[in-house]
Amino acid sequence: MYPLKFNPILKERLWGGTKLRDVLNKPIENDITGESWELSTVKGDVSVVSNGDLAGISLQELINTQTNDLLGVSVAERFGKEFPILIKFIDAKQDLSIQLHPNDELAKKRHNSFGKTEMWYVMDADQDAELIVGFNKDVAKDEYANSIKNDTLLDLLNYEKVKEGDTFFINTGKIHAIGAGVLLAEIQQTSDVTYRVFDFNRKDKNGNLRELHTEQALDAIDYTKKDDFKVTYSTEKNEVNTMVDCPYFKTNFIELTENIKQDVTSRDSFTIYMCVGGSATVKNEFGEANLVKGETILVPALSKSIEIISSGAKLLEVTI
């Protein structure tokens, strides 16, 4: 159970572009590739190991056969044989639809799914690129409903200009959208439940408007203005700097100018490293794997120590 790498699952999107290839060196085959799913057990999109003796085996198969060793005992007790998070890189050449995600209770009731709490780390942004996060004032439910009818929703939204390193925490119920020109790393609960409320009246390749979820969204939205989304974090080099610590995942920022070694005996969780800059080698007791910008590694929970060898890398470290 050495550090595992997986084949990226590439997704064509109406709003996608070429940065996944041009910046992150993904093997995209068209000019509208919007997402690279790095770690997934979503049905129909299950990640497959690409390195070492376990190459060709799916992440779900490893979880089914080596549950505690891969996930950690406490993670397995909580989530069973489901991988609890979904890891992506996203390239928005155009604005994404304005959307939100239901919480666990609503998602379970309506979709038999987890809700979708997520976070974004901006890796690259064109000049004046921005995100939509939340409302610009407290909004009454009927005011929101009228804005949908009258095509004035954009007037109610909060816009945030972004640059590399900016980090945002998107809790359930918060209306949001990734803007054109943004390349980011996304960490989220394993869920593909999204309520799309506005899509700029765009049509897909077949000339159809994409489905909106106007009625479903009404009871899922948080209508209050909250400034709880921008993440401030330390960037001390060669240290583990906490970014987000929520019930669904914990994410740290690590910038290396030298090697570090961590004792993770008591972690009782897998560890994920997303490389958002430079390169590194990640080692545990059973082997090692190289990591460059745009790649992701999963270190199984049975690891007692993790060594990261690098003279220049920026990593997001994710655990449960």
Q: What stretches of the chain show up as alpha helix (H) in DSSP? A: 19-22, 59-65, 67-71, 73-79, 104-111, 141-150, 214-218
Closest alpha carbon to 169 in 104, 244, 114: 244
Longest dimension (CA), the chain: 60
Task: Quote the CA–CA distance of 14 and 22 in Å, as a whole number.
Answer: 18
Triad 225, 84, 283: Cα angle to 5°:
115
Burial class (CB in 10 A: 0-12, 13-18, 19+), 179: buried
**78 is annotated as an active-site residue:** no
Closest alpha carbon to 271 in 293, 292, 289, 256: 289
Closest alpha carbon to 309 in 291, 285, 293: 291
What Rg do the C-alpha atoms of the chain give, in angstroms? 19
Q: State how beta strands 118-125 and 176-178 pair.
A: unpaired
Q: Record the tokens describing residue 115, joined without a space.
A: 């809700």
Q: Record the tokens describing residue 126, joined without a space.
A: 């064109």
Selected catalytic residue, list 21, 78, 110, 196: 196
Look-up: residue for tokens 């009454």? 140
Closest alpha carbon to 127 in 80, 161, 177, 175: 161
Query: Annotated active-site positions, please?
Result: 196
